[in-house]
Structure 1
Amino acid sequence: MKSPANGAAAAVTNGEGGEKKSINPELWQACAGPLVNLPAAGTHVVYFPQGHSEQVAASLKKDVNAQVPNYPNLPSKLLCLLHNVTLHADPETDEVYAQMTLQPVSSFDKDALLRSDLALKSNKPPTEFFCKILTASDTSTHGGFSVPRRAAEKTFPPLDFSMQPPAQELVARDLHDNVWNFRHIYRGQPKRHLLTTGWSLFVSGKRLFAGDSVLFMRDEKQQLLLGIRRASRQPTNLSSSVLSSDSMHIGILAAAAHAAANNSPFTVFYNPRASPSEFVIPLAKYYKAVYSNQISLGMRFRMMFETEESGTRRYMGTITGISDLDPVRWKNSQWRNLQVGWDESTAGERRNRVSIWEIEPVTAPFFICPPFFRSKRPRQPGMPAYSRGPCLGLVMISA
């Protein structure tokens, strides 16, 4: 898991006074998930509007409507400079998301590629935490929260076992800097760690259900922090979701098309728990994936996935096809254009399409394009210069 501290501002709005409060970036990252890696402000990225549109569809459980207009002058990818990244948390649901300001650019030099690569390598090591999926007992109004022994011993202050029963008061802060008080006690047959007094108030206050997750961690000052992750559920008001889905698809595509035509800044919101894949890709990650791998049918690869309670695991697969995910709206797009099959029969929930920068081929690297090039084709009116470049479609100029 990577820390989002690379130039990322962290803020949450106080709903009453509008005051901006700081969000702990390590807690935000823990809530976002172990595979989330935000690009650093001041670096170049590749933005995929098709992936952004997918996030809307995934979060609202509603595919793109056929009536949503196409934007023929909007390329399938935009080379952009990332001006800033701000971390947020929804005041009602605690859902974490990031706000990014992007500006399309026509080219990049080797220094920009180096900055992007250094930013990827300079991420802070992950802060340790424990995450537990809540059971029905954990969310009972008359119950408590059962904490795994190793997690309690590693995260909570030491108990005084001369007391009978051993107990202590815990003070924890959430993403909004709200304070929650819990009684931590070690009791039962067999003995176990429990959060009792204060826990039911937290469950009802956050409207938690079985299947949601709670995580605890300590910051650099050893203060206890806690966050939550919501289990995926269907929207409660389908009709309003359908309406908002179409308008949101149109809004993000229109904003990206305007920015592409005018090289003007625009804002995107990335919800790591709702989005199937990251759609703002660090330039170095994208460049390495496209130039270092010669993709072919039958190629073997590995891909990292998140497991229960914030673990990770690599799954093996084979590339079975290369084709446009949406040949009508996004012709020749690299977004999830690889069709794949998975080795394990238990991998049924793995999606059958991925993007090249998401996988790790097991074959030796093979450079398919020269590292520095400039497009020699004439630029079409209204089209960014890089959209006509060979292979990658992004124009690189030497410093």
Structure 2
Amino acid sequence: MRQKGVQPDKHTFPLLLKTLSKTIGHHPFMLYAQIFKLGFDLDLFVSNTLIPAFANSGFMESARQVFDESPFKGTVAWTALINGALMDMYFKCGLCEDACKVFNEMPYRNVVCWTVLVAGYVQSNKFQDALRAFWDMLLDDVVPNDFTFSSVLTACAHMGALDQGRLVHEYIESNKINLNAELGTALVDMYAKCGCIDDALRVFENLPVKNVYTWTAIIHGLAVHGDAIGALHMFSCMLKSGIQPNEVTFVGVLAACSHGGFVEEGKRLFELMRHSYNLKPEMDHYGCMVDMLGRAGYLEDAKQIIDNMPMKPSPGVLGALFGACMVHKDFEMGEHIGILLVNQKPNDSGSYALLTNLYKMCQNWEAAAQVRKVMKGLQVEKTPGYSWIEVDGFNS
């Protein structure tokens, strides 16, 4: 086109930019140079196409710059930024204030904008803010979608905000919103984590469609609530239904075996995961095995699991074996594990406290005093404890 002397106009660049947005490995800077050179950078249609082109290519700062310099900040431009995941990008980078600033400056907020805000707060572990944003969304007469509900239910689950979770569930039912597998899973998980396993089971049984995440949520819920037999029964039903378990599912069933004392079944499932489903054990799986063997008194077997792990054991894995050593009074192994914990987390007062308690149990007062001396020398201070209570639906 240029070789034949035909000059592009304001209709040419939007078509090129839309094509470029769908092409992997290309960026719009060369086109932007031509746009700027020909004076089309302030054109409404060109700028509204240029914003998502930059955003979809991952150049969020450039997308924001084009938007800031554009005199046309209408709904189209805002939608382009949302489609470019500007808010989502800010949240994922931990820039919550920037994401909120983008949201607050929007002249028009649809369900997508609100959902990004709620989900972003959840991703940032700002669960109370997510709940408040959800209720503000309803006050703004914006109807939530499935993704909004799933996000706010996740916030309720993490906070243990049962009253809030029930209100969300009531809203879903009163508005006759169909429970798909994703939304149903969020409800099951919320009730289970809030301590209402019967409600979780009721929702689970009434779901018309269940996927691997739904089954995994109820298995985890039953395991955490101490119903090891129920969790293993659900796992069996899951396999009979033709659903293939994933890595997280096996964390749930191994945890159930640990709490139920089903050592041989736990060993069988661990091998089943590796050899029948070709799933590579991760830290959580090894942690469950160590916890299971340790609880049952097989301390040497548990230590062998740790010694043969393909990765460095986490403090949680070491802590599981340390706790078992304390219960079964194997102070020699406990001391070894306790020292490993302290070396892993030299600034964590909890590790020193565990080792001190071990020395006190075996009446080694000199060693206990030495641990406290080391803490003082390193200026390690005890972390004060705290707890959450729910007041008027919010934790405080």
TM-score normalised by length of structure 1 = 0.21
More strand by percentage: 1
Relative contact order higher in (CA < 8 Å, ≥ 6 apart): 1
TM-score (norm 2): 0.21
Q: Which structure would you say has the larger Rg?
A: 2
